[in-house]
Amino acid sequence: MKNMKKCFILLSSLWLCAASLLAGCSGKENAGEKNSIRIGVSLYRGDDTFINNIRGELEKCAKEYEKETGVKVNLDIQDAKGSQNTQNDQVERFISLGCDVMCINPVDRTAASVIIDKAMAADIPVVFFNRQPVEEDMDRWDQLYYVEAAAKESAVLQGSIVVDHYRENPESLDLNGDGVVSYVLLEGESSHQDALIRTEWSVQTLKDGGIPIEKLTGGIANWERSQASALMEQWLEKYPGQIELILCNNDDMALGAIDAMERAGITGISVVGIDGTTPGLEAVESGKMMGTVSSNKELYAGAVFGIASSRALGEEIPAGIELEEGKYFKCPQQIVVKNHK
Ligand code: BGC
């Protein structure tokens, strides 16, 4: 199963590369008319670790694309710093600068209609990513796209990391040998589709996998390492010797939980995350985290950039970027546990 996943990821990477080469060729043909494109990108928060990883890959994509096609890419990346008003202003600025396309990571996913109104009026396609606008908004125009790592898949894979460990060695999770694995849950923003779906399906996968579980407590740490660390510190005091597993909606919160355990000098509790961010992968490698679910950042950013650049040039979206319903791209994900990347 793991090998199949790896193989699919490899194939998809090759496919995407090939597709971007094809896109590159048509870009050249087009270069007579248009030899530069302007892409406006607005991030909900530039200090978010996962979003930062995607940003880095987007910048790489732009450079590679310029090299392959000779089309100059003006990638204007802005940080909305958690303010929807700021993001709306950034969108207006992108429009007045004559951007060919916008890539938006919405601050408030339920307020995407304001951005869509502006984009439609200026006839500028939008690629949303990571924070999903509601369906009615996405259905308003055929020039709206959405790229994500599907939340249910992340959660089922996360749950299966725990199930595999439990089946191999139940004592590594049921530390006090009472026949039940007692867990705590660290959740992302309550308004984010990923948080709700990941929580539900991670827990469900443990149940489906036959692990006897008991929830001690849970809380919202808004994807943040420091908030997770503060919550975990309280829980370690409140449930001394009882916590056996920490389920985290993302890697940063898993790292926060680990920070709190290190401060308290506690070891042995299993922690699982989601994202496969750079520090998340390091924590798995060093044995601090039992595992994570890594979305392929290259493919993720490759899809955002591939859709955006083709729209900017008025070309077909590269064939390697397979869209569901003509607008949704789901990035492949894989389990990462120590020695099994
Ligand atoms: C990621 C989090 C990130 C959040 C931001 C989630 O999909 O897993 O790490 O903080 O998106 O929107």
Model confidence band, residue 320 (pLDDT cutoffs 50, 70, 90) = very high
- Classify residue 275 as left (phi > 0), alpha (psi -120 to 50) or beta: left
* Residue 13 pLDDT exceeds 70: no
CB-count exposure of residue 237 (10 Å: 0-12, 13-18, 19+):
exposed
pLDDT in tens, 165-209: 999 999 999 999 999 999 999 999 999 999 999 999 999 999 999
Tell whether ligand 1 has an atom less than 6 A from the beta carbon of residue 130: yes
Residue 52 CB neighbour total at 10 angstroms: 15
Q: Tokens in use for 231?
A: 């919550």
Tell whether ligand 1 has an atom less than 6 A from the beta carbon of residue 300: no
Q: How far is the CA of 255 from the centre of ligand 1 (A)?
A: 14
Tokens 């600068």 map to which residue? Answer: 97
Give the per-residue pLDDT at 340. 53
Give the per-residue pLDDT at 34. 86
**Rounded mean pLDDT of the chain?**
92
* Nearest residue to 51 via CA among 106, 5, 13: 106
Q: How far is the CA of 195 from the centre of ligand 1 (A)?
A: 9
pLDDT in tens, 130-154: 999 999 999 999 999 999 999 999 9
99 φ, ψ (degrees, to nearest 5): -60, 145
Task: Answer for the pair 307, 103: CB distance below 8 angstroms, yes or no.
Answer: no
Percent of the chain with pLDDT over 70: 89
Tokens 């929807």 map to which residue? Answer: 84
Tokens 């943040």 map to which residue? Answer: 224
The mean per-residue pLDDT over the stretch 255-272 comes to 98
Mutating to test ligand 1, I would choose from 81, 110, 192, 274 the residue with most ligand atoms within 8 A of its C-beta, which is: 192
Helices within the chain (DSSP H only): 2-31, 49-69, 84-96, 112-122, 135-138, 151-168, 193-208, 225-238, 251-264, 278-285, 297-312
Task: Please give the order of strands across the beta sheet that includes 291-295.
Answer: 213-220, 181-187, 245-248, 270-272, 291-295, 333-337
Ligand 1 atom nearest 249 alpha carbon: 8
Residue 195 to residue 189: CA distance in whole angstroms: 6
pLDDT in tens, 83-137: 999 999 999 999 999 999 999 999 999 999 999 999 999 999 999 999 999 999 9
Q: How far is the CA of 25 from the centre of ligand 1 (A)?
A: 34
Q: How far is the CA of 93 from the centre of ligand 1 (A)?
A: 26
Residue 164 to residue 237: CA distance in whole angstroms: 29
Model confidence band, residue 272 (pLDDT cutoffs 50, 70, 90) = very high
Tell whether ligand 1 has an atom less than 6 A from the beta carbon of residue 223: yes
Give the per-residue pLDDT at 313. 97
Q: Parallel, antiparallel, or unpaired: how do β-strands 181-187 and 213-220 relate? A: parallel
* Residue 249 pLDDT exceeds 60: yes
Tell whether ligand 1 has an atom less than 6 A from the beta carbon of residue 275: yes
Mutating to test ligand 1, I would choose from 105, 194, 199 the residue with most ligand atoms within 8 A of its C-beta, which is: 194
**Does 24 or 45 have the greater pLDDT score?**
45
Residue 269 to residue 246: CA distance in whole angstroms: 7
Nearest residue by C-alpha to atom 8 in ligand 1: 250
Give the per-residue pLDDT at 341. 39
The mean per-residue pLDDT over the stretch 310-321 comes to 96
* Residue 9 pLDDT exceeds 60: no
Q: How far is the CA of 241 from the centre of ligand 1 (A)?
A: 30
**Does 100 or 16 have the greater pLDDT score?**
100
Tell whether ligand 1 has an atom less than 6 A from the beta carbon of residue 48: yes
* Residue 79 pLDDT exceeds 90: yes
* Nearest residue to 82 via CA among 111, 54, 58: 111
* Residue 18 pLDDT exceeds 50: no
* Residue 218 pLDDT exceeds 80: yes
The mean per-residue pLDDT over the stretch 20-42 comes to 63
Tell whether ligand 1 has an atom less than 6 A from the beta carbon of residue 297: no
**Does 19 or 145 have the greater pLDDT score?**
145
Tokens 């007579």 map to which residue? Answer: 32
Q: How far is the CA of 129 from the centre of ligand 1 (A)?
A: 11
Name the least confident of 31-45, 84-98, 305-319: 31-45
Mutating to test ligand 1, I would choose from 275, 277, 293 the residue with most ligand atoms within 8 A of its C-beta, which is: 275
Residue 36 β-bridge partners: 72
Give the per-residue pLDDT at 11. 33
**Does 238 or 340 have the greater pLDDT score?**
238
* Nearest residue to 257 via CA among 237, 232, 274: 232
Q: Tokens in use for 29?
A: 């043909």
Give the per-residue pLDDT at 23. 39
Task: Answer for the pair 216, 178: CB distance below 8 angstroms, yes or no.
Answer: no
